[in-house]
Structures are given as structure tokens and as C-alpha cells.
Structure 1
Amino acid sequence: MTDALIDYAGVFKALPGMVALLTPELVYVDANEEFQRVSGRTREQLVGRYLFDVFPDNPNDPAATGARNLAASLRRVVETGERDAMALQRYDVQSKQRPGEWEERYWSPVNAPVLGPDGRVVLLVHRVEEVTELIRARGGPTGDRARVLEAELYTRARELQELNERLREAHAREREVALALQEAMLPAPGPIGPHRAAVRYRPAVGALNVCGDWYDLVALPGGDRIGVAVGDVVGHGLVAAGVMGQLRSALSAASRVAAGPAQALDVLDLYARSVEGAENCTAVETWIDWDRSVIAYSSAGHPPPALLRTNGTVHFLDRATDPPLGAHLAHAARPQAEAPFAAGDTLVLYTDGLIERRSEDIDAGLARLAEALERHRAAAPEALADALLLEMLPVGGATDDTALIVVGL
């Protein structure tokens, strides 16, 4: 059966467990039948209402923490884009039949994100496992025993919250160190003769998935030629920054002595096989020759450079693409191709953070890039680089870092 034949709304409605959908502002969008049945709320009493207006903490119990713990979990999902499983929670629910009376419930929630095309959280899946009857079947927490259990649950929840805070602080410190290291290894490029180039790097926002992207510009011997490259390391953080620095340095050195960009990537491929963490990294190397008005290029699994013509047409350099570094079982020579250019054209190299979005085919991102380049075809490299970042990256930042080089030809 294909996806087109599956009634996903019907599947959601019939799910045997309690499942609700919330906006990032914690407003109910939908709830399946089991959620309505167990919670004692109809769909009309849920949809469009704020979660904690429907299920507030018991005002008669000053020690109640269910709402606070659930809110903290849902905020973590919105901020990180990752699922969050909660410890067993006591969450008293006001009786619909007897207003003012609160029924003791024990729920085990799991909260997960639904991401939009730009990688941001657009919905929250709130799944609840009702375990009240299980606890009652084992003797039920009543009186002193109930207070002891509640105190234990509160302590465990606090411990988990404190652990998450320490992990976030540690991640933030590692992110800062990794970014500082990357900045030291990716200085602003120096003059490349009369040619204009703009370089940009934007780290991922609110994530540790940074410091794997790199770029390089180098003057080549034998005429009016430069080598321009970008690459992307699979890992992130300090490890990625270290691998990135090694690969960038190796390709920069290889470019100065190689016969062409394919041979430079051949050397980098051999080197990457000896560097832990460099496997399956991607890179693209271009050689711009103004004497011949030709761009020679070779790609190791990287998104294709874009050649913007003065008339606004965009040609993606994709005729010399091979697998990422170290992906071949045995080393093999990499392909190389050439593309002519005219004065006034522009060459754009970038990493996947500029074009890729979760749950979207890469062709959609390439089409967006081509449209943006056509709109700004008259812009100089610095202005074009700023315009591309402004239009291509999601509002608030991307979930992957981005390197970008724009060269005026």
C-alpha cells in the first residue's frame, strides 16, 4: 500500500495510545480518541485551548509539579528539536462530573517534535502512557506511601532537570571553544590579485552541529589562476573543527602542486583515509583560469557550484561528481570537467546548510538558490553573499552551519 492510499488522519484517530498534537505555544491542535477518552475531555474542549488551561496543577496541592515538569519538557523539545521522555509524573485531573474534585493520575509522557521544511519545530507530538491503574493494582499509593512516592518522583524529576541543565551548559562551552578554534583556522582570505571574492560562515543556531564547514582560496602558479574550495566534515564540535583544519590545510597544499582540481582531491582522498573522522566528508575544488576563461572543477560528494551568467541564467557544475572522501573501497582517480565563463559572470560555492532542509529533496533547495541568484544577478560579490544568506537561511538561523564563497569573474 502506498502513502497516497493511507488515511493518516484515520490512523491518528484510531491509535491505541493517548496522543495529542500541540503548537510550539502549547495550544492543542488535535487529540486522538484514546486521549479524549482517558483524559475525560472532548475534542471541542481541547482543540484551540492552551494546554495548562485544560490541565492545570491541582490548586489544593502546593507540592504539585506535574504542569511545571511537563512545560519544561515541551520547552526543551521546541528549543532543541529533539524528543524528550519524562519520568513518571503524578498529574491530578479535575473531574468533569464533579467540579472542584481532583482525580489522582499517574502519567508517563513522551514529547517529540514535528519539523517544518526549514528545520524548525512546527508541532509537538505529546504521547501519554496512563499508568494509574497499574499503580493501583500494586497496592496503590495512598496516605504516607503516596507522599513518599510523590517526593521520590519530584526528586528524580529535579535530578533529571539539573542534569539536562549541566549538559546544555557543557554543550554551550564546547560550542564556544569549537567556534573560536574554527575562526582561528579559517581567517579572512587575503588579496587574490584584482579579483573580487566574498566569504561568509554562519554557524548553526541553538545546536552543537557547528564547525564542520570550511573554505579555501589560494593563488595558483602558472598564470592568472586561483583555486577555490569548500568542504563539509561529517562530525561536529571540537572534533569536527580539528578534522576540518587538517583537511583544509592538506587540500590547500595539494592545490599548489597538483595538475588539476581532480588530482588535488585525489591527494586529499588518500590523506583523509589516515585521519580519524574524515571518512565520508565532502569537498569541491574549482580552479578559475582567467587566461583561458575556464573553470576546471571536481567534486567529492559535495553540492555543485553555481555559475551565474550575466543574463541571469544559472549553470550548476555537476559533470564531475564522485563519492565523498574515503567512500571508495579502493582508491580511484576522480573525474574532472571544465566550464567556460565570460567577464561579469559569478561563481558561487557553498555547503549544504545553505540549500538543504529536512523532509525536502535537494533539488528544491537548488531551485531556490538559482532563483535567488537570478534576482540578484547584478550584485557585486559582497552584496550577493549577504543577499543569499538573508534569503536562503531560515528566519532565526539554520540547524546546520553554512560556508559560502562568491567570486566575481
Structure 2
Amino acid sequence: MTEPQIDYAAVFRALPGMVALLTPDLVYADANDDFLRLAGRTREQLLGRYIFDVFPENPNDPAAAGMRETRDSMLRVVDTGERDTMALLRYDIEDPQRPGVWQEHYWSPVNAPVHGSDGRVALVVHRVEEVTELIHARGGKGGGPRGRVLEAELYTRARELQEVNERLRRAHAREREVALALQAAMLPAPGPTGPHEAAVRYRPAVGALNVCGDWYDLVDLPDDNLAVAVGDVVGHGLAAACAMGQLRSALSAACRVADGPAQALEALGLYARFVEGAEATTVVTTFIDRKSHTITYSCAGHPPPALVHPDGAVTFLDQATDPPLAARPEHLPRPQAHLTFTEGSRLVLYTDGLIERRGEDIDTGLARLSDSLTRHRHRAPEALADALLTDLLPSTGTTDDTALIVLRL
């Protein structure tokens, strides 16, 4: 059956209720027909203009706060990437036919983000319910006694709601600050890695707090050798980040004293049983021996690392796979395997956000990764990491986080 061809521009303009689109600088990008009609403005009077140049605040009302409250709400959306519901608002509009004459209006606005391909807010959806007629009908137009009582009650309730929203906003801002600090502390740029040039990338899920349970780590070992790992704790937010931090630190320590990656993951698995939220964490660890040109690896339920050879062939490190951490009731030794590499090869470790898509077999994602690695195999790690993200992540972002390490061997 042929899918219908939908004219989304026509749908937007026909939407019931007042809806406008603004840039992050609060400049009108579009508005639907109801917005133009009820606001008394033409499309030409709106598009490309700053919102408060089109709708300045009533200079005759010294108590007016609608402009500040609306601006603050929209900028919160741009800053946090989350929807912001405003309290009932009085915002008078100047009559376009009679300059200097201001018409009383009551609005109930909601502002919501539209994310771009880079995960940032590209547009703000400004949806407004016009409730002026309802207030006049229930209280009497012209501000009679019942009207004044109703207006006072509405403003009291509106201010109460606004105070609640402000407290929630501050709590969210504090949580976001903590999240960003955790991310910076636990996912730093790689330090010196001996002869191995490395690049790392982290991309949060769309709408996330910019922190989650994905991690990467590079650990210097004796004789210019290196341990490289990536892991993924189930979930998002501060709880997942806290579990991730504990596991990352524990694995980093284990790699320094273990005889190999399997032993390091065995120690991590035992530790994970006592870390809240660590159950079903996936992780893969590789030990790189520079002198023997050997990679030894062990995988706990994680997507396999990929080794792209100088000739473009891709080998997935999938011969030592075991269940995720703390997934088995009893402790059993974990497997490990090894393979040799040619100097100039690239080793890529990643979390499932890079390859997995809903409704799609994982082999399809692995094939995309293999094709991209073959095409970009001669690029330096920084350029290769950017190319992989461009090729494999949807332009609209993903619902899962992505951590990525690219290492030149």
C-alpha cells in the first residue's frame, strides 16, 4: 500500500489553536493561521522579527510582567531542551488598526523544543490558548465585581503554579549541573597513550541530561601496553551515572593488576553484585600488547569491538562473549581470546547507541559500521571518529547514548 503524501506545512497552518515557531534567538520562523487571526497580525508582520518587537509590553501597565515571564520560559526551553508550561498570563496587545490602544488578553502558553541533528534546540514551539473570552464570560466584561474577583483568583492560582514551576526549574538546573560535572569528571579526554593515537566521543540521547551509564576508559600498562574498555549501565540520569562511575573506577583498577581482560571482568562482575543499578551492565575490555602486536579481549554481553586492517578488511572481536555483569546467579570464569594486528590498523570500541536501531537486526548495524570503517580506514582517529558518528547516527539523534573510542595501532 502506498503511503500518503502529507503536506506538513499545510497541516501546520491548519492546526487548531495558536501555534508559532521561533528560533533560539526568539525570532518568528512561522505561525499557523489561528495564531495570525487571533493575534491580529499578518505573516509578513511576524516572520523574521523578534517576538517582543512584534508584541511589546503594554507601557501603560507598570505591573506588567508578561514579556519577562514569556522570555524566561522560552530561554529555559533553549537551555534545557525540555518543555516549559507557563502559568496563566495577562499580556495586552496593541490594536494594529489603532496605535496606542491596548486590548486586554489572557493566555495559557506552553513552550516546547524541536531538536536539530546536533541534539541542540533548533526551534521553539510556542502554543497558546486564548482564554480572554472565558474570563469575560464568567466574570463580566469590563471588570465588574465578579470579574475582579475571578481575575484575582486566577492570578493567585497562576502565581502559585508559577512558584511550583520555578522550584522545579531550579531543581532541574541543579540536577543538570551535577550531571555535567559528573560527565566531565568521569569521561575525560584521553591522556598520553604511548605510541597509540586515540580519539573519544560521547553523544547523549535526545532529551537526556547529557549524562548516562555509557563510559569509556584507557589505562596505561607496563611496557607501553594499553587497556581499552567501554561499558554501558542500563538506564539514564544520575543513578545510572553513579553506577557507571563506580564500575569504571573498579575496572580501571582491576586492569592494572589482572593477568588479562577476562580476569579483570571477573573481578568487576563480583564487585557489580554490590553496586546498586549495576545489574545487566555490558562491558568489553581489550589489552593491547605493542611488542607482539596482539589484542587480547573479553566481552560481557557487549557489542564486539571492530578492527579495521590497512587493506580495509574488518574483523569483529566476537570470539570471547559472555553474559552481562551480575547476570548469572553463580560466579564462573570468563572467556578471553586474542588476535594479531598490523601496524596502522584502527581499533574501534563503542556502545550500542552507535549501531542499534529499533525494529532492526543488529547485524544490519554492524554491516553499516563495517562499511564506514572500510571507507574511512586511512583517516586519523579524530577524523575517523567524526566520520563514524556522521555515517551511523541519525540526523535527528537517537534514544540511546553513544560512547566511542578510536585507536590507531
TM-score (norm 1): 0.72
* SS of residue paired to 2:139: coil
Q: For 1:319-398, list aligned pairs within 5 A.
A: 325=325, 339-350=339-350, 377=378, 379=380, 384-385=381-382, 388=385
Q: Is 1:110 matched up with 2:114?
A: no
| Partner residue in 1 for 2:211 | 210
For 1:197 and 1:391, locate their aligned partners in 2 and report how far apart those are by CA, in whole Å: 17
Q: What residue in structure 2 maps to residue 41 of structure 1?
A: 41
What is the rounded CA distance, in whole Å, between the counterparts of 2:331 and 2:10 in structure 1?
51
CA–CA separation in structure 2 for the residues paired with 1:387 and 1:46: 43
Q: Give the Cα separation in 2 of the matches to 1:333 and 1:9.
A: 59
Q: Name the Cα RMSD after superposition.
A: 5.0
On the 8 A contact 2:385/2:405 being kept in 1, the answer is: no
The aligned amino acid for 1:230 is: V
What is the match of residue 55 of structure 1? 55
State whether structure 2 residue 80 is matched by structure 1 residue 80. Answer: yes
Residues 316, 120 of structure 1: alpha-carbon distance in 2 compared, 3 angstrom cutoff: farther
CA contact (8 A) 1:84 1:111 kept: yes
Which amino acid in the other structure matches residue 47 of structure 1? L
Q: Which amino acid aligns with 2:174?
A: A
Q: CA distance change for structure 1 residues 150 and 316 in 2, over 3 Å: closer, same or farther?
A: same
TM-score, structure 2 as length reference: 0.72
Aligned-pair identity (%) = 54
The one-letter amino acid of 1:215's match is: D
- Distance change >3 Å, CA 4–CA 27, structure 1 → 2: farther
Amino acid of the structure 2 residue aligned with 1:217:
V
- Cα gap change, 1:305 to 1:261, in 2 (>3 Å): same
Give the match for residue 93 of structure 2: 93
Q: How far apart are the structure 2 equivalents of 1:284 and 1:91?
A: 57
TM-aligned CA distance change 1:238 to 1:112, over 3 Å: closer
- Map of 2:12 onto structure 1: 12
> Where in structure 2 are there 5+ consecutive unaligned residues?
none
Contact kept? 2:87, 2:159, Cα under 8 Å: no
* Alignment CA distance shift 1:49-1:402 (3 Å): same
Displacement of 1:377 after TM fit?
3.1
Distance 2:11 2:269 in 1: 48
Greater displacement, 174-183 / 45-54: 174-183
Which of the residues 158, 178, 183 maps onto 1:174?
A: 178
Moved more, 14-23 or 272-281: 272-281
**C-alpha displacement at 1:86, in angstroms?**
0.6
CA contact (8 A) 1:189 1:217 kept: no
Deviation, structure 1 residue 218? 6.1
Q: Which residue matches 1:159?
A: 163
Relative distance call for 1:315 and 1:132 in structure 2 (3 A) is farther
Is structure 2 residue 25 aligned with structure 1 residue 25? yes
For 1:115 and 1:369, how far apart are their aligned partners in 2? 29
Give the distance between the partners of 2:387 and 2:126, measured in 1 at CA. 34
* Aligned-pair CA distance for 1:70: 0.9
Whole-Å separation in 2 of the counterparts to 1:258 and 1:16: 64
Which sections of structure 1, spanning at least 5 residues, go unmatched? Answer: none
Q: CA separation of 1:64/1:249 partners in 2, compared to 1, >3 Å: closer, same or farther?
A: closer
Cα deviation, 1:73-132, whole Å, max 9, x if unaligned, reads 111111111111111111112223444322211111111111112101111111111222
Structure 1 residues 225 and 72 mapped into 2: Cα distance closer, same or farther (>3 Å)?
A: closer
Structure-2 change in CA distance of 1:287 and 1:51 (3 Å): same
Per-residue CA distance 1:40-85 (angstroms, 9 max, x = gap): 3333433333222222211222222112211111111111111111
SS in 1 for 2:135: helix
Q: 1:177 to 1:340 in 2, by over 3 A?
A: closer
Deviations 1:194-228 (CA, angstroms, capped at 9, x unpaired): 75354757797x985337424143649xx997542
Kindly indicate whether the alpha-carbon contact (under 8 Å) linking 2:24 and 2:122 is maintained by their aligned counterparts in 1: yes
After superposition, the Cα gap between the structure-2 partners of 1:366 and 1:103, relative to the gap in structure 1 and judged at 3 Å, is farther
Q: Does the Cα contact within 8 Å between 1:178 and 1:211 map onto a contact in 2?
A: no
